Amino acid sequence: MSRARFSPLCDYLGVNLLDRKACYRAIETRDPRFDGRFFVGVTSVGVYCRPICPSRTPKYENCRFFHSAAAAQQAGFRPCLRCRPETAPEVASWRGTANSVSRALALIADGALDAGEAGVDALAERLGLSGRQLRRLFQQHLGASPIAVAQTRRVLFAKQLIQETRMPMAEVALASGFGSLRRFNETFRELFRRPPSALRRRTSTVADTGVTLRLRYRPPYDWPAMLDHLDARAIDAVEEVASGVYRRTVSHEGRLGTVEVGHQPARNRLAVTLRFPSVRALPAILTRVRRVFDVGADIETIDAHLSQDPFLAPLVALRPGLRAPGGWDGFELAVRAILGQQVTVRAARRLASRLVAVCGEALPRMDGLRPELSHAFPSPERVAAADLSALGMPAARRTALEALAEATIADPDLFHPLGTIDEAIARLRAIRGIGEWTAQYIALRALRETDAFPASDVGLLRGAARGASTRPTPADLLQRAEPWRPWRAYAAQHLWVADAERDQTVQEVLRG
């Protein structure tokens, strides 16, 4: 089936109305390219499905098409038990044109609407919008209200826990944010016409210790590049990359645990094993995993856009599916950025390891804990109280770390994606010791701003000099990067990888 036949839907991405005929052709052929881009409600049976559902294709007149699972559920459809909409890849096709919605979704994932409808106006205020405007944007881009989105996320996450783990129902209810087991049972009986326990699959499994869940992504996915990035920056006692798996310690609301992430390429998904003493933390930890591994990237759209540039096209062709890795935690990423000012990645890693040795928190003994993972990255409070002179770095950088810790304690929303990217950069630059490069880097990795671009970065300038006799200036690079908007963060990742590969080639030649 040629891509041209689906051009109406391909052109749709981000437009208010779905092309019914194009959507129907997609579900007729079960085209995986559209998985996560829309959902189909089948009026004859009252369920909503993914475009790749293996069930018999419904009649055209029985189909209704929706921008999101929340829109389908709000319209009265229940999730299909065969194609499992909760496992569809999260694809924000409208990113770059609806940044307010993207930022709102990030905050909702962090629990911003746990208080219900009363929280919508507060969420809108954090984004610099009115409640009415935020509701309108959600309706336009997702076809559902913010509350409907939050409620659907809660139900689908609970359904995933039921079907992929052996967690007791009371823990599933708690982990997915239901206020009580009674409310949890009522919701599932109302939606699925059966108790939650009836949805449990006989083949569901759990790790020897911990809970294992799967996160789907839209292929391609350059897993080796992601692991190389994480491995090069892995902090001693906090992280490790071994046998194709990433592991790290986790701190959340004063409790400690670990997370392990592996790749299952045949099924286009990541396997995430969580070992944590509080099930309430599971959604927050999975949100961090999604952020670090850039699971929700609409990578085909991004690669196609960047490939229009003759300079980037060969790089994209060489590394299709290259993601822009995120930061595990905003404060941690900002600390790494400060430690990395004017030094190599290897030197910054050594400094971060020293910082953990000085003020990191030791993990308690737990089943399945690897000896390599012994400490959690220090909190802002620990950094603020520590004697940083033992790090052996310039006083200006120590002062910047102290100022960052104080600013993070004073403003819990410092690393949340609020306002525009320019406002975020200005907020970060107001912190003593954080300049334009550091602010742009934090925006790219921690705030997940897809258009952040630290143009003065030496690695970017070297990567952009490929095939030229001299490096461009930061101003030249900014001008060249204009056509790469709104995906300059991904262009930056391609340039960084190209520079790292060039450096590796040079080292091999020198050793040879």
Residues identified as active-site: 49, 457
Q: What are phi and psi of 202, to 5 degrees?
A: -65, -25
Q: Inter-axis angle of helices 99-109 and 146-164, to 10 degrees? A: 50
Q: Cis omega (within 30 of 0) on the bond before 486? A: yes
Pairing of strands 375-376, 361-362: antiparallel
Q: Among all chains, which residue has been given the structure tokens 């229009």?
A: 308
Q: Residue 455 and residue 462: Cα distance in Å, rounded?
A: 11
Nearest to 427 by CA among 445, 444, 441, 415: 415
Contact between 172 and 158 under an 8 Å Cβ cutoff? The reply is: yes
Residue 498 CA, distance from chain mean position: 23
Q: Among all chains, which residue has been given the structure tokens 């002062």?
A: 399
Q: Residue 342 and residue 232: Cα distance in Å, rounded?
A: 17
Question: Could you write out the DSSP letters of every residue in 100-140?
Answer: HHHHHHHHHHTTTTTTTTHHHHHHHHHTTS-HHHHHHHHHH
Per-residue CA distances from 188 to 37, 70, 144, 164 (Å): 25, 15, 20, 17
Is the C-alpha dihedral spanning 240, 243, 246, 251 positive or negative?
negative
Assigned token pair, 477: 């690079």
Question: Could you write out the DSSP letters of every residue in 192-254?
Answer: HSS-GGGG--TT----SSSEEEEEE-PSP--HHHHHHHHHHHPPTTTEEEETTEEEEEEEETT
Residue 474 CA, distance from chain mean position: 28
Assigned token pair, 438: 């550091």
Assigned token pair, 377: 């990255």
Q: Among all chains, which residue has been given the structure tokens 């969420």?
A: 123
Q: Among all chains, which residue has been given the structure tokens 């905050």?
A: 107
Per-residue CA distances from 105 to 50, 111, 120, 306 (Å): 21, 10, 12, 25
> What pairs with residue 443 in β-bridges?
none
The edge-to-edge listing of strands for the beta sheet with 63-66 is 63-66, 39-42, 47-49, 78-79
Residue 258 CA, distance from chain mean position: 18
Assigned token pair, 505: 């080639």
> What pairs with residue 214 in β-bridges?
271
